[in-house]
Amino acid sequence: MSDVYLGGTGLACVLGDDVPSVLASLQRGGVLPTPVAVAEGIHWPVYALAPSEGDWTQRLCRTVCNVASQTGDWGARTVPLFVASSSLDIGFMEHEKQDLRLGGDLQDFAGVVARALDWQGPVFTVSTACTSALNAVLAAAELIRSEDADQALVIGIELDNRFTVAGFGAMQLLAPDRAQPFGAQRKGLVLGEAVAALRLTSRPARWQVAGGANVVDGRNPSGTEATAVHAMCRGALAQSGLQPGDIDLIKVQAAGSPVNDAIEVEALKQVFDPLPPLVSLKSAIGHTLGAAGAAELALLVGCIEGGVWPSVDYPLDASLGIALSKEAPQKLRNILLNVVGFGGGHASLVLKDAGP
């Protein structure tokens, strides 16, 4: 059995095209979402990637190559590649004529990504809505633990498409202005675009992927279930050989939903007593759906290593009885990252600082 480490990260999101530019933007106070029209007279805010030249596929390939290159040199590129996405290539399909749409299959998107990277190894697609990237990390970690691979690349991708925005809008899950996780005036989630890459490796590095858990609870397909939050946290802790008191920071789901944010807090309080410091990243980059697990992990590690921390410029909901940390905790050994999503998906990952 091999241990699994995070050997490198890459990120492009609303804040910038790489981790240094993302952190610089965060330090300046971040950026606001931009309105996206999904139908006549219907607009929703989205934390979008900066506009760039080319068609949808060209932008995909360019962004993926940029983000993957941030994780270092991959040599012959024969190790497994995991492409995690909720919307896959639906943004491309929107621009196709109706009778040409969906002529291929669900693996075509990962095939385009692999060709852009000149990837020679096995290519997997993972699509479980908002938990896609964390599930890809869990699967890649199992390959490395079992010594079937010594490295793997996980890429979470959510690019521009009206289909997803319109779908979430039709489900009445979106806020009309901006994301306010745990906010007193929170009105729903705000979607975001991102491409994030995680290099997982058996070679020791500072951050160890100590364990994780995935729990699907279909009783409430668009909501958070307290028992599933308990199960994902406890499962991730058990696989990591940790107790609740060992966790020094929780990266919360907190998408800004009036109901789900409250359920998440109550469920976390039932597992962690007292609650460790909490950090939320969705007010900075939005909810990047299938990319969220990779994008928020890359951003959080970047913040810790870069000495930058997301600010909260809106009042929190006092009834929740929580605070969001204003800086990185001084003692920061074990971090729990939680992602909860559409379809009853709940996933947790424990990241351990294995440094001296």
Enumerate binding residues for other proteins (CB under 8 A).
38-40, 42, 86, 90, 93-94, 98, 101-102, 105-107, 111, 122-131, 135, 139, 142-143, 145-146, 148, 162-163, 166-172, 213-219, 221-222, 228, 231, 341-345
Cβ distance to other proteins smaller for residue 102 or 332: 102
Least Cβ distance, residue 29 to other proteins (angstroms)? 33
Cβ distance to other proteins smaller for residue 123 or 335: 123
Least Cβ distance, residue 35 to other proteins (angstroms)? 16
Least Cβ distance, residue 48 to other proteins (angstroms)? 18
Least Cβ distance, residue 91 to other proteins (angstroms)? 11
Cβ distance to other proteins smaller for residue 211 or 276: 211
- In Å, the largest CA–CA distance within the chain is 59
Least Cβ distance, residue 166 to other proteins (angstroms)? 4
Least Cβ distance, residue 171 to other proteins (angstroms)? 4
Cβ distance to other proteins smaller for residue 33 or 341: 341
Tell me the CA distances in angstroms from 171 to 165, 189, 220, 222, 253, one per residue in order. 10, 12, 13, 9, 19
Cβ distance to other proteins smaller for residue 17 or 160: 160
Least Cβ distance, residue 325 to other proteins (angstroms)? 30
Q: What residue has token string 């970690």? A: 141
Cβ distance to other proteins smaller for residue 152 or 285: 152
Residues β-bridged to residue 12: 195
Cβ distance to other proteins smaller for residue 40 or 73: 40
d(CA 179, CA 283): 5
